[in-house]
Amino acid sequence: MTESDREVDQGRRRLVGLLAGAGAGAAVFGRALSALAAGEAKVTAGMVKQAEWMTGVAFTDEERALMLADLNESAEGIDVLRGLALDNAVPPAFTFAPSPGVPKPVPETAAPPPRRERPAARPSSDEELAFATVRELGRLLRAKKVSSLELTKLSLSRLARYDPVLSCAVTVTSELALSQAKRADEELAAGRDRGPLHGIPWGAKDLIAVPGYRTTWGSVPFRDQTRPETSAVYRRLEEAGAVLVVKTTVGELAWGDVWFGGTTKNPWKPDQGSSGSSAGSASATAAGLVAFALGTETLGSIVSPCTRCGVTGLRPTFGRVSRHGVMALAWTMDKVGPIARSAEDCALVFSAIEGRDALDPYSADGPPAWPPRRSLADLTIGFVEELFEEDRGKDAKTEEEKARAAEWRAIDLRSLDVLRKLGARLVPLKLPTKTPAGPLSLILTAEAAAAFGGLVRDGRVKTMVRQTADAWPNVFRQGMLITAADYLNAQRARTLLMREMDEALSGVDLFVAPTFGGSSLLLTNLTGHPCVVLPNGFRMADGTPTSITLTGKLRGENDLLAVADLFQRATDFHSRRPKLPEGPGRKG
Q: What is the CATH number of the domain that holds 280?
A: 3.90.1300.10
Same domain, 145 and 65: no
18, 51, 82: which is the final residue of a domain? 82
Residues 63, 137, single domain; the answer is no
The answer on pLDDT for 402 being more than 50 is yes
Contacts of 346 (CB under 8 A, 6+ apart): 292, 312, 313, 314, 337, 338, 339, 340, 532, 561, 564
- The arithmetic mean of pLDDT across residues 362-388, rounded, is 89
Which are the catalytic amino acids? 205, 277, 301
**Mean pLDDT of all residues in the chain?**
90
User: Domain for residue 187, yes or no?
Assistant: yes
Q: Is residue 120 part of a domain?
A: no
What is the pLDDT, as a whole number, of residue 404?
87
* Domain contains 155: yes
Quick: pLDDT tens for 115-138.
666 668 999 999 999 999 999 999
375: which residues sit within 8 A by CB, 6+ positions away?
Answer: 112, 562
* DSSP β-bridge partners for residue 513: 549
Q: pLDDT-derived band of residue 374, with 50, 70 and 90 as boundaries? A: confident
* pLDDT score of 354 more than 60: yes
Q: What would the pLDDT profile of 194-230 be if each residue is shown by its tens digit?
A: 999 999 999 999 999 999 999 999 999 999 999 999 9
Residue 316 lies in a domain: yes
Residues 508 and 566 in one domain: yes
Same domain, 306 and 419: yes
504 & 560 share domain:
yes
Q: Do 131 and 68 lie in a common domain?
A: no
Number of domains in the chain: 2
Top pLDDT among 194 and 19 is at: 194
- The answer, yes or no, to whether residue 39 has pLDDT greater than 60, is no
143, 201 contact by CB (below 8 A)? no
**Domain shared by 197 and 277, yes or no:** yes
Rg (C-alpha) for the chain, rounded Å, is 26
Rounded Cα–Cα distance for residues 353 and 324 (Å): 12
Given this model, what pLDDT does residue 114 score? 56
Cite the DSSP H helix spans in 134-173.
Answer: 134-142, 148-166
Residue 314's alpha-carbon distances to 242, 345, 517, in angstroms, are 18, 10, 18
Domain coverage including residue 184: 126-435+484-575
Closest alpha carbon to 329 in 497, 455, 149: 455
Lowest-confidence region among 37-51, 282-296, 530-544 = 37-51
- 68 and 217 part of one domain: no
Asked if residue 510 has pLDDT above 50, the reply is yes
The answer to whether residues 342 and 426 belong to one domain is yes
Query: In angstroms, rounded to a whole number, what is the distance separating the alpha carbons of residues 183 and 370?
Result: 26
State residue 524's pLDDT score: 98
Residue 63 DSSP label: H
CA–CA dist 243, 421 (Å, integer): 39
Instruction: Please indicate, yes or no, whether residues 343 and 244 belong to a single structural domain of this protein.
Output: yes
| Domain membership flag for residue 92 | no
Residue that is last in its domain, among 82, 111, 141: 82
pLDDT 10s digits, 165-201: 999 999 999 999 999 999 999 999 999 999 999 999 9
Helices (H), 462-555: 472-479, 484-504, 520-527
**pLDDT single digits (tens) 58-88:** 889 998 888 888 888 878 878 887 888 889 9
Report whether 247 contacts 206 (CB < 8 A).
yes
